[in-house]
Amino acid sequence: MSKFVLIAGGTGGHLFPAMALAQELRRRGHEIYLMSDGRVGEYGKRFPAKEIIVIPSATPSISNPIKFIKAGFIIVGGIFLALKKLKQIKPDVVIGFGGYPVFPPFLAASLLRIPGVLHEQNAVLGRANRALARFAKELALSFEITSFADKIAIAQTVTGNPIRDSVRQVANEIAYSKLRDKDKIRLLVFGGSQGARVFSDIVPLAIANLPKDMRKRLDIVQQCREEDLERVANAYRGAKVNVELATFFNDLPERMAQSHLVICRSGASSVAELTALGIPSILIPLPGSLDGDQANNAAFLEASEGGWLLEQATLSPQSLAKSLKELFEQPELLDEAAQKAKSLGQPKAVEKLANLAQKYVKVSK
């Protein structure tokens, strides 16, 4: 049995692939620890680790000197706490999943000469991974073409982005259900763990712009923020559309697999799960994502004809309604996109990443 410390920021985009790797390494008989920041919250309760250790971290802001200095003190404090914990655990390898919360533990591991592997989930190498690469043994990529990866001088391997056991199970059990004339049209809308305000603003109005006979066929599941639930429900009620609204869905993989079309952001985990399940999607990248990582993820899927990219800046209820009407009137387009998306899935990503991590156990012993 070897010991692995996985390091990931406390959001789903970083924690989901870390969770998938933890599940695989535990199957192989290894001991797993997680280091994350204070946002780990609910996700931590389901993370298969012997111990979850919260390490203080901060995002340095060069434009604000006071915040920059404050962040520096927090990061230094995080490094010292990580050093203490790593000395106690004595891991064989650490694996970082990007984001600034990885900085303190990964730097501490480097100081202790513990081999480190970095995983990049997006089609753009994140700034944290770019900065930390000099301290890593190897960089694992999710995409064959990853912006900025060519500037990194360490070993690189394309593993794909690991998906959780729950998603893998659903992918094996539920095949895409082709849409036929007069079938119920199952549409799923979600925008991250807390829902996306823009979807609450635009999607119900777009649905209201669809022809009456098309609205009657719709079964919509939509994730909303708590404060948006009532107004979104009223909007759908006015459009006379069947809808189920909630702030969070514990069974999201099953709901994705049962949908004819998904509207969502284009975070790395969402794209990995859509391709594993083989579900067509309309992707609306988060405009403020650093280095345009979500836009690049969506562009990859669109270029491969597995989905459609719509920019939030130019999105309107009318333009979204036009896109939905075209797809629902030509279900063969959805079928083709489902097949293309499925062909992009990387079901063995977690095994590849686990093998890569294990490789450095041998080096360290």
Interatomic CA distance for residues 315 and 322, integer angstroms: 11
Domains of the chain: 3-163+347-364 (3.40.50.2000), 168-343 (3.40.50.2000)
Query: And the tokens for 204?
Result: 């119900």
What pLDDT was estimated at residue 42?
Answer: 65
Contact of 13 with 268, CB cutoff 8 Å: yes
Rg (CA), the chain: 21
Burial class (CB in 10 A: 0-12, 13-18, 19+), 127: middle
Q: Are strands 261-264 and 242-246 parallel, antiparallel or unpaired?
A: unpaired
pLDDT higher than threshold 80 for residue 363:
no
pLDDT digits (tens, 9 = 90+) for 177-187: 999 988 999 99
10 Rama class: left (phi>0) / alpha (psi -120 to 50) / beta: alpha
> Residue 222 pLDDT > 90, yes or no?
yes
pLDDT tens by residue, 239-269: 999 999 999 898 999 999 999 999 999 999 9
Q: Is the pLDDT of residue 290 over 70?
A: no
Q: Which helix (H) or strand (E) holds 12?
A: helix 12-27
Instruction: Pull the structure tokens for residue 138.
Output: 């190897």
CA 156 to chain centre: 21
Residue 212 has pLDDT above 70, yes or no: yes
List Cβ neighbours of 304 (8 Å cut-off, separation of 6 or more). Answer: 340, 341, 343, 344
Does the pLDDT at position 44 exceed 90?
Answer: no
Alpha carbons 330 and 160: distance in angstroms, whole number: 32
Residues in the chain: 365
260 token code pair? 């004819």
| pLDDT recorded at residue 357 | 97
Bridging pattern class, strands 242-246 and 3-7: unpaired
φ, ψ (nearest 5 deg) of residue 204? -60, -40
**DSSP secondary structure letter of residue 30:** -
**pLDDT at position 117, please?**
98
Query: How many CB atoms are located within 10 Å of the residue 94 CB?
Result: 30
Helix ranges (H only) for 265-348 are 268-277, 293-303, 317-329, 331-343
Residue pair 161/268 in contact (Cβ under 8 Å)? The answer is: yes
Mean pLDDT of 338-365: 90
Structure confidence by residue, pLDDT tens digits, 294-332: 999 999 999 999 999 999 999 999 999 999 999 999 999
Residue 71 has pLDDT above 90, yes or no: no
Report whether pLDDT(364) > 60: no
d(CA 103, CA 8): 10
Least Cα distance to 167 among 255, 94, 102, 106 occurs for 255
pTM for this predicted structure: 0.89
